[in-house]
Structure 1
Amino acid sequence: MTRPIVTPVHVADLHVEGETMPVVMHLIDHPDARVLVDTGFTRLHPAVADLDPTLVPADRQEFDPASVDLIVNTHLHFDHCGGNQRFPGTPIHVQRRELDDARTLDDYTIREWVDPPGVEYVPADGEFELLPGLRLVPAPGHTRGSQIVVIEGGDHPVVIAGDTAVWFGELDDPQTEGQRLIRSLEPEAVWLSHTHEPWRPTER
């Protein structure tokens, strides 16, 4: 099977310590479905005003929400689930532990963005094959319930990591269980949620 194409979609920017951090979601064009990994956010909230967020207008995202068949939330921090409300009735796959934490832990996320009207979660308990050649794999570290998407095909997989690694150096020198898991897969490329280009290994 030809490996599905991954397309990054820039939806917002955060501003942290003088640096601009893009917020990027990823579309997977699989032969059986179009999958969106994370949904960014579509509005501002006082709880994150210190990050001075700016939104990319929807008409500049070159992305049609109606084309999405399935959604994966790598985790439920506000900048990964804040667009879930755009997809009422679309199945959203998330690890059960992550969903439980987002609903119960204080200062974890923007809780009202987790369960807006019409959102339909499909909780996973561990590794799960979403579609042929496309697996959801728990990758604890950034949060206890974080997961990654592993896309098979070719000699090495492609991974969509969410925030399991936030910047390239965390994969060059992995420290968390999730980061070590990604490196153990010997991936060809790893898409992160806050970079425009994927991380690639310098050597095998």
Structure 2
Amino acid sequence: MTDSARSTHTTITRLRVGDLQAGDQRLPINVHVLDHQDARILVDTGLTQLHPAVADMDPRIQPLNELPGFDPDSIDIVVNTHLHFDHVGGNHLFPGRPIYVQRAEYIEAHAGEYTILDWVDAPGATYTLVDGELELLPGIRLIRAPGHSAGSQIVVVETGHRPSVLCGDSAVFYGELDQPATEAQHLIRSLDPSEVWLSHQDAPWRPAVPARG
């Protein structure tokens, strides 16, 4: 299943790659493709296989490499918003292509039982470590956004008006952006976005009233 929105220079396309159990509800797992005039970017890579370490969440997967119309070879750049298992399970599909992640996140992931390291350190995975903010391409920025994890980052897509934001798990539910509580959520709202694409919701969040601060 896909949805898309067009900014001035970049098209954002949502790809649903599965779902998982979180408490008493099932949440979708979404990744996003950014078609920029200079490159095709994939934000997070979902799951491509099951693992006993997360069997309790009963993941049901639709691997990226099996989605009709999606060609992994078309991707030039990968961004991981963070390194939890449901965001890195397809990293192995992109050997040799740069995978952008915050340095703090990469260090934390390798410091303990944080994720499935075999998926992070997949053969051919080539990481570019980011410290804070980075202009990835003209009109596309990566910004560190602590909250869900210490090294989480968001992707900000400039539209010529109000930006679009891809937030990973900095917010899992819409209400977390309606009433921000974490540093990341306050940061997102301070950007006054027109829309925020969440990994575990099928439609972007949009503010009822634009807010700053």
After superposition, give the CA deviation of every residue in 1:54-112 in whole Å (9 maximum; x if it has no partner).
11154345321110000000000000011101110010000000001111122x11111
The answer as to whether partners of 1:41 and 1:78 remain within 8 angstroms in 2 is yes
- Pair 1:36-2:42 in alignment: yes
The offset of 1:178, in angstroms, is: 0.4
- Pair 1:128-2:134 in alignment: yes
Letter in 2 for 1:95: Q
Q: How many angstroms apart in 2 are the aligned matches of 1:163 and 1:69? A: 23
- Equivalent in the alignment of 1:88: 95
2:183 corresponds, among 164, 177, 182, to 177
The answer as to whether partners of 1:129 and 1:135 remain within 8 angstroms in 2 is yes
The answer as to whether partners of 1:11 and 1:61 remain within 8 angstroms in 2 is no
- Equivalent in the alignment of 1:152: 158
TM-score by length of 1: 0.96
Unaligned runs of at least 5 residues, structure 2: 1-6
1:100 corresponds, among 107, 110, 130, to 107
Question: Which aligned runs of 4 or more in structure 1 are off by greater than 4 angstroms?
Answer: none
The answer as to whether partners of 1:10 and 1:61 remain within 8 angstroms in 2 is no
SS of the residue corresponding to residue 161 of structure 2 reads coil
2:174 corresponds, among 152, 160, 168, to 168
TM-score by length of 2: 0.92
- Pair 1:199-2:205 in alignment: yes
Q: How many angstroms apart in 2 are the aligned matches of 1:34 and 1:155? A: 22
Q: How many angstroms apart in 2 are the aligned matches of 1:116 and 1:124? A: 19
After superposition, give the CA deviation of every residue in 1:123-168 in whole Å (9 maximum; x if it has no partner).
0111000000000000000000000000012210000000000110
Q: Compare 146-155 and 55-64 and name the one that shifted more.
A: 55-64
- Equivalent in the alignment of 1:6: 12
Q: How many angstroms apart in 1 are the aligned matches of 2:67 and 2:45? A: 15
The answer as to whether partners of 1:9 and 1:63 remain within 8 angstroms in 2 is no
- Equivalent in the alignment of 1:47: 53
Q: CA RMSD in A?
A: 1.2
- Equivalent in the alignment of 2:73: 66
- Equivalent in the alignment of 2:84: 77
The answer as to whether partners of 2:9 and 2:37 remain within 8 angstroms in 1 is no
The answer as to whether partners of 1:9 and 1:61 remain within 8 angstroms in 2 is no
SS of the residue corresponding to residue 186 of structure 2 reads helix
- Equivalent in the alignment of 1:23: 29
Change in CA separation of 1:61 and 1:110 when aligned onto 2, cut-off 3 Å = farther
Letter in 1 for 2:15: V
